[in-house]
């Protein structure tokens, strides 16, 4: 099968001219692949509609799990295929465009980047093209939370919470509300007064909703070989509530900002490949059974697979961008036309303040050209090329990653669709290391908050590409949905539920094996 890996990857990357003989077809996609336990996209009943028969043969072979850990797989270093960024592995590693963009698209990327970085101001303002902030908000720009395209973090010594906020949600109270969730017309319901998230900032003359406060208690874990790791057990509260008490059944879910790289490539993964992940896990019967998130497209109302957000609550990059504009900054767009952002009917002073709509630009504060460019920028930030893929310790760690069961959820690779609207995203062999499914991660990570089909213990498997550059890009390490883990070992040790066996395998390893596995993760 090693020959199949190499040949198929070479075909997809467009390297050699390979003639598909009958023998090659059998090698790459015939009966030899049946029963491998890996999602087969040559399944006669449900083939990917974007692929020809020859394409399916190539893709099936290229996405087989690794079976030779003595060397790197073909093109494994190219995290995003030909679209990978090959720039320096430094603080700006997540800021580069896909290498497959045309010259005209690079110009679009630059315009989108400027909008991503711009600071919005309160209305009314002489700028007109930049007003509409809030009135309640968490940040004044997208870049404020996703600095240099990286992940957020919990408050540091200075107390800054810009890249972290609290989601607020309550259960459905009425039969009508329950029906709305069942029909995927609502993900959940926000607090009656404070809405869907706590906003700790406000425009002049308006009180902020409150301040996120977090405290930690230490928890020591002893590992194989006698090593110990101290975990931080967080407790979240809200200080200085500005509009009265929270609802009695309102839950708090802390969230840090996710990295921005590779989002367009994630959207370009075929639905059938994600569905196949869930089918593979269910058939394996090993206690891992991911749920496919289903959500509605903000603009069309069509039901799609959720891929973005900690609970896979958004189906597209555009949905994610529109949600963040309205919820985090208070800027309305065609896809989420909330001029007052997350203000509720119980905050009349907020609703009475002027918005930033300019009649000559349309009925929203971020008209289509603005949302289009911001979406394009978010879709085309490139994952960086991997480092050290041929080093013996990295290869040993990769073998342990597979043997421990980590790859069951953190599925390494896909080939993106042929029929993407943007050719720069098309037919790329990519390595995001995620199945993009919802998994029960156990009570220790639970937030008790339902989000659509996601229960209070379920989270989307986060992609791992770019993981090893977290500290360089963001200046510190912060992992999991609330950044409680200050290191990769801590993050692994918090895994529970469906991931408990993999967590225990890591904990019981020898110190040398644990170091090798972490070295592999740091190479991503």
- Give the three-state DSSP class for 216: strand
CA distance 368 to 230: 48
For residue range 135-174, what is the model confidence (pLDDT) as tens digits? 999 999 999 999 999 999 999 888 888 999 999 999 999 9
Confidence of residue 298 (pLDDT cuts 50, 70, 90): very high
Eight-state DSSP code of residue 451: B
pLDDT of residue 35: 29
Which range among 8-12, 177-181, 263-267, 499-503 shows the weakest confidence by mean pLDDT? 8-12
Locate tokens 């539920």: which residue? 497
pLDDT of residue 333: 96
Confidence of residue 2 (pLDDT cuts 50, 70, 90): very low
Q: Output the DSSP codes for 269-310.
A: S-HHHHHHHHHHHHHHTSS---B--EEE-TTT--EEE--BST
pLDDT of residue 390: 98
- Give the three-state DSSP class for 221: strand
Give the mean pLDDT of the chain.
Answer: 91
Phi, psi of 106 (to 5 degrees): -65, -35
Structure tokens belonging to residue 321:
């961008």
Rounded alpha-carbon distances, angstroms, from residue 429 to 11, 28, 321, 391, 420: 10, 16, 25, 22, 14
- For residues 178-210, b (16+ Cβ closer than 10 Å) or e, as one string? eebbeebebbbbbbebbbbbbbbbbbeebebbb
Which range among 17-21, 200-204, 393-397 shows the weakest confidence by mean pLDDT? 17-21
pLDDT surpasses 60 at 348: yes
Locate tokens 């003359």: which residue? 205
For residue range 402-456, what is the model confidence (pLDDT) as tens digits? 999 999 999 999 999 999 999 999 999 999 999 999 999 999 999 999 999 999 9
pLDDT surpasses 70 at 36: no
pLDDT of residue 135: 98
Q: Are 326 and 336 in contact (CB under 8 A)?
A: yes
- Let me know the angle formed at the C-alpha of 359 by 354 and 361, rounded to the nearest 5 degrees: 110
- Dihedral over Cα of 338, 341, 342, 344: its sign: negative
pLDDT surpasses 90 at 292: yes
Nearest alpha carbon to residue 433 among 407, 452, 459: 407
Eight-state DSSP code of residue 178: H
pLDDT of residue 33: 31
For residue range 43-95, what is the model confidence (pLDDT) as tens digits? 334 789 999 999 999 999 999 999 999 999 999 999 999 999 999 999 999 99
- Give the three-state DSSP class for 9: helix
pLDDT surpasses 50 at 360: yes
pTM comes to 0.91
For residue 406, the tally of other CB atoms under 10 A from its CB is 25
Q: Are 459 and 437 in contact (CB under 8 A)?
A: no
Rounded alpha-carbon distances, angstroms, from residue 122 to 325, 370, 389: 14, 18, 48
pLDDT of residue 198: 98
pLDDT of residue 498: 98
CA distance 184 to 270: 21
Mean pLDDT confidence for 328-355: 97
Nearest alpha carbon to residue 261 among 153, 163, 150: 150
CA distance 265 to 442: 29
Structure tokens belonging to residue 140:
């004044």
Environment class of residue 70 by beta-carbon count within 10 Å: exposed (0-12), middle (13-18) or buried (19+)? exposed
Rounded alpha-carbon distances, angstroms, from residue 422 to 107, 265, 467: 15, 10, 26
Q: Are 493 and 442 in contact (CB under 8 A)?
A: no
CA distance 377 to 149: 11
Q: Over pLDDT 90: what percentage of the chain?
A: 87
- Give the three-state DSSP class for 188: coil
CA distance 295 to 56: 28
**Whether the bond into 430 is cis, omega within 30 of 0:** no
Confidence of residue 8 (pLDDT cuts 50, 70, 90): very low
For residue range 206-240, what is the model confidence (pLDDT) as tens digits? 999 999 999 999 999 999 999 999 999 999 999 99
56 dihedral zone (left: phi>0; alpha: psi -120 to 50; beta): alpha
pLDDT of residue 38: 40
Structure tokens belonging to residue 406:
């980590």
């Amino acid at each position: 099968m090693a020959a199949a890996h190499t040949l198929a990857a070479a075909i997809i990357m467009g390297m050699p001219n390979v003639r598909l003989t009958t023998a090659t077809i059998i090698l790459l996609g015939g009966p030899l692949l049946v029963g491998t336990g890996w999602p087969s996209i040559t399944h006669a009943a449900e083939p990917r509609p974007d692929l020809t028969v020859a394409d399916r043969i190539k893709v099936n072979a290229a996405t087989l799990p690794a079976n030779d850990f003595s060397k790197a797989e073909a093109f494994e270093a190219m995290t995003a295929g030909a679209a990978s960024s090959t720039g320096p592995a430094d603080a700006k590693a997540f800021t580069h465009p896909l290498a497959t963009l045309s010259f005209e698209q690079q110009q679009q990327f630059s315009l989108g980047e400027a909008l991503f970085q711009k600071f919005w101001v309160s209305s009314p303002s002489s700028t007109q093209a930049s007003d509409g902030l809030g009135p309640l908000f968490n940040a004044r720009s997208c870049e404020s939370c996703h600095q240099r395209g990286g992940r957020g973090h919990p408050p540091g010594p200075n107390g800054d919470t810009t890249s972290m906020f609290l989601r607020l949600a309550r259960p459905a109270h009425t039969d009508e509300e329950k029906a709305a969730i069942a029909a995927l017309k609502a993900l959940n319901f926000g607090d009656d007064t404070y809405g869907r998230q706590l906003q700790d900032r406000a425009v002049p003359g308006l009180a902020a909703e409150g301040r996120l406060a977090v405290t930690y208690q230490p928890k020591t874990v002893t590992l194989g070989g006698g090593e110990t790791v101290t975990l931080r057990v967080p407790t979240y509260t809200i200080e200085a509530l500005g509009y009265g008490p929270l609802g009695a059944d309102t839950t708090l879910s802390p969230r840090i900002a996710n990295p921005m790289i590779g989002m367009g490539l994630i959207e370009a993964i075929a639905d059938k490949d994600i569905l196949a992940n869930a089918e593979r896990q269910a058939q394996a019967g090993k206690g891992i059974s991911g749920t496919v998130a289903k959500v509605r497209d903000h603009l069309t109302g069509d039901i799609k697979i959720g891929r973005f957000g900690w609970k896979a609550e958004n189906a597209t990059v555009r949905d994610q961008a529109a949600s963040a504009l309205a919820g985090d900054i208070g800027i309305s767009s065609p896809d989420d036309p909330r001029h007052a952002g997350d203000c509720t009917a119980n905050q009349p002073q907020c609703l009475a303040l002027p918005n930033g709509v300019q009649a000559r630009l349309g009925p929203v504060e971020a008209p289509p050209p603005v949302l289009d460019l911001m979406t394009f920028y978010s879709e085309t930030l490139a994952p960086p090329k991997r480092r050290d893929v041929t080093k013996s310790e990295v290869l040993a760690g990769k073998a342990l990653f597979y043997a421990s069961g980590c790859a069951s959820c953190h599925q390494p690779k896909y080939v993106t669709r042929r029929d993407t609207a943007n050719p720069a995203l098309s037919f790329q062999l990519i390595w995001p290391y995620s199945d993009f499914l919802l998994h029960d991660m156990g009570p220790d990570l639970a937030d008790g908050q339902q989000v659509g089909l996601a229960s209070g213990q379920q989270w989307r498997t986060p992609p791992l590409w770019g993981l090893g550059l977290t500290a360089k890009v963001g200046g510190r390490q912060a992992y999991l949905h609330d950044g409680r883990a200050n290191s990769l070992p801590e993050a692994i040790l918090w895994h529970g539920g469906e991931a408990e066996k993999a967590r225990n395998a890591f904990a019981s390893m020898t110190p040398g094996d644990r170091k090798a596995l972490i070295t592999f993760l740091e190479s991503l």
